[in-house]
Amino acid sequence: RKEVEQDPGPFNVPEGATVAFNCTYSNSASQSFFWYRQDCRKEPKLLMSVYSSGNEDGRFTAQLNRASQYISLLIRDSKLSDSATYLCVHNQGGKLIFGQGTELSVKP
Protein backbone atom coordinates (compact mmCIF):
# COMPACT_ATOMS: atom_id res chain seq x y z
CA ARG A 1 0.00 0.00 0.00
CA LYS A 2 1.31 3.44 -0.90
CA GLU A 3 2.00 5.79 1.98
CA VAL A 4 -0.16 8.48 0.46
CA GLU A 5 -2.93 7.72 -2.03
CA GLN A 6 -4.94 10.27 -3.92
CA ASP A 7 -7.96 10.30 -6.19
CA PRO A 8 -6.99 9.36 -9.70
CA GLY A 9 -7.39 12.22 -12.14
CA PRO A 10 -7.70 14.15 -14.22
CA PHE A 11 -10.61 16.23 -13.03
CA ASN A 12 -12.08 18.35 -15.81
CA VAL A 13 -14.49 20.96 -14.49
CA PRO A 14 -16.07 24.17 -15.78
CA GLU A 15 -15.21 27.54 -14.31
CA GLY A 16 -17.17 28.23 -11.16
CA ALA A 17 -17.53 24.58 -10.22
CA THR A 18 -16.78 23.16 -6.80
CA VAL A 19 -14.32 20.31 -6.80
CA ALA A 20 -13.12 18.03 -4.00
CA PHE A 21 -9.94 16.00 -3.75
CA ASN A 22 -9.45 13.15 -1.34
CA CYS A 23 -6.33 11.59 0.07
CA THR A 24 -5.62 8.74 2.46
CA TYR A 25 -2.43 8.02 4.32
CA SER A 26 -1.18 4.81 5.84
CA ASN A 27 1.11 5.94 8.64
CA SER A 28 -0.95 6.80 11.70
CA ALA A 29 2.11 8.43 13.26
CA SER A 30 2.16 11.19 10.64
CA GLN A 31 1.75 14.52 12.34
CA SER A 32 1.62 17.28 9.76
CA PHE A 33 -0.32 17.38 6.54
CA PHE A 34 -0.32 19.72 3.59
CA TRP A 35 -1.69 20.36 0.17
CA TYR A 36 0.79 21.49 -2.44
CA ARG A 37 0.12 22.72 -5.93
CA GLN A 38 2.41 21.89 -8.82
CA ASP A 39 2.16 23.52 -12.22
CA CYS A 40 3.46 21.72 -15.27
CA ARG A 41 7.27 21.40 -15.23
CA LYS A 42 7.56 23.55 -12.12
CA GLU A 43 8.39 22.96 -8.48
CA PRO A 44 5.61 22.28 -5.95
CA LYS A 45 4.33 25.23 -3.96
CA LEU A 46 2.65 25.04 -0.58
CA LEU A 47 -1.06 25.71 -0.90
CA MET A 48 -2.10 25.20 2.69
CA SER A 49 -1.45 23.22 5.81
CA VAL A 50 -4.19 20.91 7.07
CA TYR A 51 -5.34 20.98 10.68
CA SER A 52 -7.59 18.59 12.59
CA SER A 53 -10.14 21.30 13.12
CA GLY A 54 -10.28 22.05 9.42
CA ASN A 55 -9.09 25.27 7.92
CA GLU A 56 -10.15 27.62 5.19
CA ASP A 57 -8.22 30.03 3.02
CA GLY A 58 -10.46 31.93 0.66
CA ARG A 59 -11.97 29.47 -1.79
CA PHE A 60 -9.95 26.56 -0.40
CA THR A 61 -10.99 24.39 2.54
CA ALA A 62 -8.90 21.54 3.94
CA GLN A 63 -10.04 18.87 6.35
CA LEU A 64 -8.18 16.18 8.28
CA ASN A 65 -9.80 13.10 9.78
CA ARG A 66 -7.18 11.32 11.86
CA ALA A 67 -9.48 8.43 12.79
CA SER A 68 -10.02 7.58 9.13
CA GLN A 69 -6.55 8.75 8.06
CA TYR A 70 -8.17 10.88 5.44
CA ILE A 71 -7.50 14.38 4.12
CA SER A 72 -9.58 16.45 1.76
CA LEU A 73 -9.31 19.66 -0.21
CA LEU A 74 -12.34 21.56 -1.45
CA ILE A 75 -12.05 24.27 -4.07
CA ARG A 76 -15.08 26.50 -4.53
CA ASP A 77 -15.81 28.76 -7.49
CA SER A 78 -12.91 27.29 -9.44
CA LYS A 79 -10.90 29.57 -11.69
CA LEU A 80 -8.95 28.85 -14.86
CA SER A 81 -5.80 29.59 -12.87
CA ASP A 82 -6.59 26.73 -10.49
CA SER A 83 -5.59 24.27 -13.23
CA ALA A 84 -2.64 22.36 -11.83
CA THR A 85 -1.73 19.12 -10.10
CA TYR A 86 -2.63 19.01 -6.41
CA LEU A 87 -0.34 16.99 -4.18
CA CYS A 88 -1.32 15.56 -0.82
CA VAL A 89 1.71 15.58 1.46
CA HIS A 90 2.48 14.46 4.97
CA ASN A 91 5.46 15.07 7.18
CA GLN A 92 6.99 11.94 8.59
CA GLY A 93 9.87 12.58 10.92
CA GLY A 94 10.90 15.72 9.05
CA LYS A 95 10.59 14.14 5.63
CA LEU A 96 7.85 15.12 3.22
CA ILE A 97 6.01 12.19 1.67
CA PHE A 98 4.15 13.12 -1.50
CA GLY A 99 1.10 11.55 -3.06
CA GLN A 100 1.08 11.01 -6.79
CA GLY A 101 -1.08 14.06 -7.31
CA THR A 102 -4.45 14.75 -8.85
CA GLU A 103 -4.59 16.80 -12.01
CA LEU A 104 -7.23 19.50 -12.23
CA SER A 105 -8.21 21.18 -15.46
CA VAL A 106 -10.65 24.07 -15.24
CA LYS A 107 -12.29 24.91 -18.56
CA PRO A 108 -13.99 28.18 -19.59
Partner 1 sequence: GAVVSQHPSRVICKSGTSVKIECRSLDFQATTMFWYRQFPKQSLMLMATSNEGSKATYEQGVEKDKFLINHASLTLSTLTVTSAHPEDSSFYICSAERTGLSSYNEQFFGPGTRLTVL
69 vs 91, beta carbon nearer partner 1: 91
CA distance 28 to 19: 27
Locate the DSSP E strands across the chain. Answer: 4-6, 11-14, 19-25, 32-38, 44-50, 55-57, 60-65, 70-75, 84-92, 95-98, 102-107
Rule CB under 8 A: choose which of 11, 21, 24, 44 binds partner 1. Answer: 44
8 contributes a contact to partner 1 by CB under 8 A: no
Residues 19-38 that bind partner 1 (CB under 8 A): 31-32
94 contributes a contact to partner 1 by CB under 8 A: yes
Rule CB under 8 A: choose which of 63, 101, 104, 106 binds partner 1. Answer: 101
- For 75, counting Cβ atoms within 10 Å of its Cβ (0-12 exposed, 13-18 middle, 19+ buried), the class is buried
Q: How many residues bind partner 1 (CB under 8 A)?
A: 19
Rule CB under 8 A: choose which of 50, 86, 99, 104 binds partner 1. Answer: 99
100 contributes a contact to partner 1 by CB under 8 A: yes
CA distance 77 to 54: 19
Residues in touch with partner 1 (CB under 8 A): 31-32, 41-46, 49, 87, 91, 94-101
